[in-house]
Copies of this chain bind each other. A is one copy, B any other.
Amino acid sequence: MYKLGQLSQAIAAHLVGDPNAEVERASPFDAAGEHDVTFAAIPAYVENLDQSRATAVIVKQAQPGACTNLLVAANPKLAFARAVLLLHDRARSPRGVSPDLTIGEGTSLGTDLSIFPRVTIGRNSKIGNRVTLYPGVTIGDGCHIGDDTILYPNVSVYDNSMIGSRVIIHSGAVIGSDGFSFVPDEQGRQVKLLHLGWVIIEDDCEVGANCSIDRGGFGATVLRRGAKLDNLIQVGHNCEVGEDTVIAALAGFSGGTRVGRNCVVAGQVGTNQHTSIGDGSVITGQAGVTKSVKPGAIIGGMSQDYSQWRKSHAIFKRLPEIAVRLRRIERMMGLGGRGPGGVQ
């Protein structure tokens, strides 16, 4: 239970209402009831504040005469995210280390661990404090796992991976697989360019389910502090993803791609090798990054400025009409030639 007075301070919101009212959980607007805090995410909710039975509603602006407690925040979604964390992010009580842990020589374990059964750790690795390793997690030799990091079931970590503190890696993710580099020989047979590097995942990163992050060829593939990856993302060898950049599912980064900080990369985006994406850029869904992107740019289609892409695409949808109009003009001018698209 949190009193609204406490909660409003903790989430940096201004309370308009009863500081002694109590909330114990966060709920969606439609379902919120007594002791719930919720969030008027869309205008329709703001207009229907009076129908909410929530004990408190987070809003952007005070609504005079509202008949519920309001928590006014400049960024209501942020305030709500903080409220959810406060009310629901239970401190994990450590479960201890399963007696069936398989562990190699020279590996050290921190304290207050939660290591589930069927975990395997190689040699000369270092596991920090309060780390959680779920069943099926396999960690190679020479790895480092920072404090408070969580590896969900069946995560595979190859040798020499460096994973920071408070990192979350979801099931099935693969950290440190070989980069993809082959050179055809004189007979066309593919010769493997051995990759000798490693992966660095800095503090506070999150890696989604079934992502694969390849090791560097030489040196490291790096996720900088706070980078967040959705599921099924490919990060090629020697890529670098900047701080607090968020990347949606099924995006793929070719070897050597550099993504700046605070970028947003949407789903199914792909990049060419060695391209660079400037800080604060947005790459929209299914776009292709074939050349480097300036800081703050918004990209759509195949490396186009997004607003230009939208204009081009609007005309693309009308291309059959354009072709007809062109043919009409040609006819009037007595010009021959094939018309496109069967509109002759």
Contacts and interface: CB of A to CB of B under 8 A. Distances in A.
Contacts of A332: 333
Given A120-B116, A172-B174, A248 B244 contact: no
Interface string A226-251: 10101110101000000010101110
A183 B78 contact: yes
A178 interface: yes
Contact of A194 (B78, B88, B328): B88
Contacts of A231: 174, 177, 180, 212, 214, 234
Contact of A234 (B153, B156, B230, B286): B230
Contacts of A249: 180, 212, 234, 236, 252, 254
A172 B212 contact: yes
A20 to B, nearest CB: 26
A119 B135 CA distance: 9
Nearest to A85: B194
A209 B177 contact: yes
Which of A82, A85, A196 has the largest count of B CB atoms less than 10 A from its CB?
A196
How many of these chains are in the complex? 3
Given A118-B118, A158-B152, A325-B330, A206 B191 contact: no
B244 A189 contact: yes
A102 B337 contact: no
Given A120-B118, A326-B326, A156 B138 contact: no
A1 interface: no
B329 A333 contact: yes
Interface in A301-315: 302, 304, 308, 311-315
A210 interface: yes
A270 B286 contact: yes
Contacts of A196: 26, 84, 88
A128 interface: no
A317 B340 CA distance: 10
B208 A210 contact: no
A316 B317 contact: no
Contacts of A329: 326, 329-330, 333, 335
Interface of A: 26-28, 31, 75, 77-78, 80-82, 84-85, 88-89, 102, 116-118, 120, 134-136, 138, 152-154, 156, 158, 168, 170-174, 177-178, 180-186, 188-194, 196, 204, 206, 208-212, 214, 217-219, 226, 228, 230-232, 234, 236, 244, 246, 248-250, 252, 254, 261-262, 267-268, 270, 272, 285-286, 288, 290, 302, 304, 308, 311-323, 325-326, 328-330, 332-333, 335, 337, 340-342
The 8 closest A-B pairs by CB, nearest first: A156-B171, A209-B212, A315-B319, A138-B153, A174-B209, A234-B249, A212-B231, A120-B135
